[in-house]
Amino acid sequence: MNILGVSALYHDAAAALLSDGCLVAAAQEERFSRRKHDAALPVNAIDFCLRSAGIKHTELDYVVFYEKPIRKFERILSTQISTFPRSVRQFPRAMLTWLSSKLWIRTTLAQRLKIPPGRILFTDHHQSHAASAFLCSPFEEAAVVVMDGVGEWATSSLWHGTSQGGLALKPIAELQFPDSIGLLYSAFTAYLGFEVNEGEYKVMGMAPYGVPRYVERVEKLLQRSEGGAFRLDMSYFSFHYHPEKSFNDKFVALFGLPRSPDQRFITRSMGHPGGEDAPSRSELDECQRFADIAASIQVVTEGLMLDAIQHAARMTGCRNLCMAGGVALNSVANGRIVREGPFEGVYIQPAAGDAGGALGAALYTWHVAFGHGQRIPLDRADLGESISEARVSAFVRDARARAEELPDDVALTDRVAQMLADGQVVGWCQGRFEWGPRALGHRSILADPRFADMKERVNRRIKFREPFRPFAPATLWESGQKFYDLERSGGEGDPTRFMLMTAQIRDDVRDGIQATTHADGSSRVQRVKRSHHPRFYDLISRFGDSTGFPVLLNTSFNLKGEPIVNTPLEAYSTFCRSGLDALILDRWIVRRP
């Protein structure tokens, strides 16, 4: 039986294909369309999934959409009514898109895939998320917590997943719109001048430069109740009636003027070489205010998440936790949950955002609706399109690239490790691209984290990002604890596999790995198992042999504003337009023409 899961029409469209319960392929549409967070129907991702399985669309048994469109439309319509007349700008836009497109998703999918409409199913949004987490986890039983902006009505939900007596995913409780952790965090993301659904990482990156002195003011925005629940004071927000703005003048009166998107961010702790470009005192004060606000919202969010986790533990009595939803990508909060929470095991699916809903929808249908109990835990994320040896050879030939093929993996990893140790920054493309937003050694930019200026170099000359953005390290599974405080790392679930939690670097090695250590001593560490990615593992290992530090700076292979690369041509084009020293495609080392 072939079941295709689809998420689309809001952000991060994706497709995932199960064939008799085996996950054949999963990919986000943006990797094919080259539009970041592409929300359009993921036709390219669907075609890729079908190609991977060697089937045609007519051979699909079911197509499962990741949410209930009519219930979502109900929420939108009733929100428009309840905010009349302030929603005057949002109403026509919403009606145009819903009545012309989103309400007809069944018809659209049926026409596009040429299958009967009766074979198109719909899971609930949070149900998809919960399934994507629990059904991919290694746990027999777990509390499942889903937190995001909003699905149909739910913004946070608690579930009890169990495989005793047949797989079941029982909903326990939910918080409803507009009381949303995700939307609260997004409002601050917008306030701090970043892009919603994209800039949340930047808020996390900004927070360590600040002191949480605005926590009281953030707490004014909400009224807490038992178990991590809360009610937002909507008089500060406008996301429920304005198509573009998340917060209003009352919010601005409380926190001060928002940060402009083109305003630079520089604090006293970052330092500045001086000169014409040196920041003024008022600029530094202003940036510090923003950093403090970022720190404050991060603290409040972590508190809410921890409370919700504790509540889930009390309600279910489970020892393990699965998390999903966009808020579960808050790796700083995840680190606290792993270290301070009541659960022994913590699992977070690598595409915890809306893209993961496609996978969850398919899994839910197969395992819960059809009652197939045998699960295969998802412990590796390379589910996308592959860069095969043949494909790379053909590309190198046709592009007439200046390239050298190395004879075997040992020669490759030796050479690249040496290049990295010499201070070169390389693009590294191997095998299938990753599922989810993190680069995990399949489409990565790699560098030596020992150089103090490497962070500035990669940010400024290669990725062209804001200077304050930190980079993440990749290290070996076995040696991770030598460098990072990973005494509690989520048990069997271990979020470090997918780079979904932060940990503190150990004091004795901090000076040795500066480029991947953030201002507060934390790192969003990835631990690599040899069984999952032998080449990447061997590379880190060889690098460690020659330098004493088996840790690499690992960042996603893309330029700012672009999705992570997919094909050899995209990698080559990105390479040519950036300051990378070399491009590694499979066993080829490609240099500039």
Partner 1 sequence: MIRAVPCGGGCLSRQNLVESILEAIERAQMRTEAGHLITASESGRVGFVSRLKQRRIRMREDIQTLELSWWERAYDCCIALLSRATWGSERRTLLKLYEFSLTEDDSFVDVARAAELTRDEALRPQYIQHALDEARHAELFRSRAGVLLQGLRTRGHDLGPLRDRLIALRAGPIQLHAQHHPQTLFERLGERDFLGLVYLAERRGARQFRIVQRLLGSDPASSALFDTVLRDELFHMSYSRRALDRLLEQDRSTTATRLLWRIRLKRAGEAWQRLGHGMGIVSNSILFGLIYFLILGPTTLLVRRRASSGGWSRCDQGGRCGLELLSRQY
CA atoms within a 13 Å half-sphere pointing along the CA-CB vector of 579:
14
Closest CA to 154 of 122, 190, 135, 127: 127
Structural contact between residues 402 and 592, judged by C-beta atoms closer than 8 angstroms: yes
Could you say whether residue 106 binds partner 1 (CB under 8 A)?
Answer: yes
Q: Is 483 in the site for partner 1 (CB under 8 A)?
A: no
Asked if 592 contacts 584 with a C-beta cutoff of 8 angstroms, the reply is no
Per-state percent for the chain, helix, strand, coil, to nearest 5: 40, 20, 40
Q: Residue 548 CB: number of other CB atoms within 10 A?
A: 11
Q: At its nearest, how many Å lie between partner 1 and the CB of residue 444?
A: 19
- Considering only 56, 114, 213, 225, the residue that binds partner 1 (CB under 8 A) is 225
Q: What are phi and psi of 222, to 5 degrees?
A: -140, 160
Q: Does 377 bind partner 1 (CB under 8 A)?
A: no
**Does position 469 bind partner 1 by CB under 8 A?**
no
> How does 342-353 read in b/e, with b if 16+ C-beta sit within 10 Å?
ebebbbbbbbbb
Query: What six digits make up the tokens of 357?
Result: 């809903």
Is 310 a binder of partner 1 (CB under 8 A)? no
Nearer to partner 1, 148 or 414 (CB): 148
Q: Is 158 in the site for partner 1 (CB under 8 A)?
A: yes
> Where would I find the H helices in 368-458?
389-399, 409-421, 454-457
Question: Between residue 36 and residue 75, which ones bind partner 1 under the rule CB under 8 A?
Answer: 36, 38-41, 43-44, 47, 64, 68-71, 74
Q: To which residue do tokens 């930047």 refer? A: 202
Near partner 1 by CB under 8 A: residue from 84, 252, 340, 531: 84
Q: Does 403 participate in binding partner 1 (rule CB under 8 A)?
A: no
DSSP label of 364: I
Minimum CB distance to partner 1, residue 532 (Å):
27
> Which of 1, 20, 56, 101 forms a contact with partner 1 (CB under 8 A)?
101
Is residue 112 a contact residue for partner 1 (CB under 8 A)?
yes
Residue 429 touches partner 1, criterion: CB under 8 A: no
Q: Does 364 bind partner 1 (CB under 8 A)?
A: yes
Sole binder of partner 1 in the list 330, 365, 489, 504 (CB under 8 A): 365
Binding flag, residue 303, partner 1 (CB under 8 A):
no
CA atoms within 13 A on the CB side of 348: 33
Identity of the amino acid at 244: E
SS3 state of residue 24:
strand
Query: Site for partner 1 (CB under 8 A): how many residues?
Result: 121
Residues 556-585 that bind partner 1 (CB under 8 A): 559-561, 567, 569-570, 572-573, 576-579
Q: Where do we find the tokens 């109900």?
A: 74
Of the pair 102, 533, the CB lying nearest partner 1 is at 102
Q: Confirm or reject binding of residue 467 to partner 1 (CB under 8 A).
A: no
110 binds partner 1 (CB under 8 A): no
Task: Give residues 433-462 in contact with partner 1 (rule: CB under 8 A).
Answer: 460-461
Which of 55, 61, 95, 382 contacts partner 1 by CB under 8 A? 95
* Helices 568-576, 389-399: inter-axial angle, 10-degree rounding: 50
Asked whether the beta carbons of 568 and 387 are under 8 A apart, the reply is yes
**The one segment of 22-30, 98-106, 505-513, 525-533 that binds partner 1 by CB under 8 A:** 98-106
Q: Quick one: 126 or 339, whose CB is closer to partner 1?
A: 126
Neighbours of 469 (CB within 10 A): 19
Q: What CA–CA distance (Å, rounded) separates 482 from 9?
A: 44
Distance CA 507, CA 505 (A): 6
**From 59, 107, 418, 531, residue interacting with partner 1 (rule: CB under 8 A):** 107
The one among 249, 261, 404, 520 contacting partner 1 by CB under 8 A: 261
Q: Could you tell me which stretch among 100-108, 204-212, 403-411, 538-546 binds partner 1 (CB under 8 A)?
A: 100-108
Lookup: tokens for 507 = 């004091």
Q: For the CB of residue 202, give the shortest distance to partner 1 in the complex, in Å.
A: 9
Min CB(184)–partner 1 separation in Å: 13
